Amino acid sequence: MEDNLFGQDWEIEPAGGETGKAFVAIHEDEKFFLKKNSSPFLAALSVEKIVPKLIWTRRVENGDVITAQKWVDNGQTLTVREMRESRVAKLLGKIHQSEALRDMLQRIEKKDYSRFHLLDSVTENIGRLNRVDTKVAEAYRYLLANVEGLKEERHVVCHGDVNHNNWLVSEGDELYLVDWDGAMLADPANDLGVLLYQYIPYSEWETWLEKYGQALTREFYTRIKWFSICQVLRAMNWQFEHNREAELARLDLLLKKIIEDDEVYVKLCE
């Protein structure tokens, strides 16, 4: 990468992450975040100020496409508690409501996933997940029993992994949602469900969702629960493939919480 893009005075370091495609380029007062083969969708996200500013995109000799983004000085990821803040709800609402982002992703990615497509992706690997935990079988039965009657909302741009480590705050208090490799067009409940169950106390769901722009109804709750289970099972499969036992155990607890959830439902039925 150094030979293709930078002179010998630049220092290139891995930026961490699970794909090994992210790097930091440093030279005196200049610093960039580099990534190999990011989606072209990154440019649209940069224009909307959802990710740090995209500086340039270049193709190197081996065919890889390298993107350089503005380095966020002293950037911090959100804490678990900070996920409850209204600015998280508002930014996710902005993303989901953006027609410009939706049209752009539809043109360049062609990843429009219905509930049936997502369920198929779970079904492909459900056998090996069943060996990990007995709750998996119960969760899968729930998906099968409720898929036909589920009413999907209009598909929007979904991030696909809205955990707190992907929310970045700059020194100037600008909030970004980063790591868009899993972006897709889908029911917004794909993002909302796992975020609510992981970070927002049940007593705060209604208020948080108001900031996002969604009323807490029985129909919405049904979608939240179904898509949350589906997303967790898909994530468990990824963690299983990469032998990440600690993360798999965390997801197992989250799955149990979602399956056994009745507090919100009871409240909505009152």
pLDDT tens for the chain, residues 1 to 270: 444 555 556 777 776 655 557 778 776 677 888 888 788 899 999 999 999 999 888 887 788 888 888 888 888 999 999 999 999 999 999 999 999 999 999 998 888 999 999 999 999 989 888 776 668 999 999 999 999 999 999 999 999 999 999 999 999 999 999 999 889 999 999 999 999 999 999 999 999 999 999 999 999 999 999 999 999 999 999 898 888 889 988 999 999 999 998 766 666 666
Examine the domain organization and report whether 132 and 155 are in the same domain: yes
Per-residue model confidence (pLDDT) at position 7:
53
> Domain holding 45: CATH number?
3.30.200
Residue for token digits 């997303």?
Answer: 231
Question: In this predicted structure, what is the pLDDT of residue 11?
Answer: 75
User: Are residues 51 and 109 part of one domain?
Assistant: no
Tell me the pTM.
0.89
DSSP codes, 88-129: HHHHHHHHHH-HHHHHHHHHHT--B--HHHHHHHHHTTHHHH
What was the pLDDT predicted at 8?
58
Whether 120 is catalytic is: no
Q: Please, what is the Cα angle at 232 between 17 and 102, to 5 degrees?
A: 75
Catalytic residue among 3, 103, 133, 161: 161
Q: Are residues 110 and 234 part of one domain? A: yes
Boundary of a domain, candidates 52, 70, 88: 70
Asked if 63 and 89 sit in the same domain, the reply is no
pLDDT at position 67, please?
Answer: 87
Domain holding 199: CATH number?
3.90.1200.10
For residues 14 and 23, what is the distance between their CA atoms, to the nearest angstrom? 4
Q: What's the rounded Cα separation, in Å, for the pair 90 and 100?
A: 17
* Domain total in the chain: 2
37 & 154 share domain? no
**Structural domain boundaries, residue 6:** 2-70
For residues 11 and 27, is the Cβ–Cβ distance under 8 A? yes
Could you tell me which of 262, 242, 149, 251 has the C-alpha nearest to residue 202?
Answer: 262
What sign results for the dihedral spanned by CA atoms 115, 117, 123, 128?
Answer: negative
- Are residues 38 and 81 part of one domain? no
Do 84 and 62 share a structural domain?
Answer: no
pLDDT score at 63: 80
Residues 87 and 46 in one domain: no
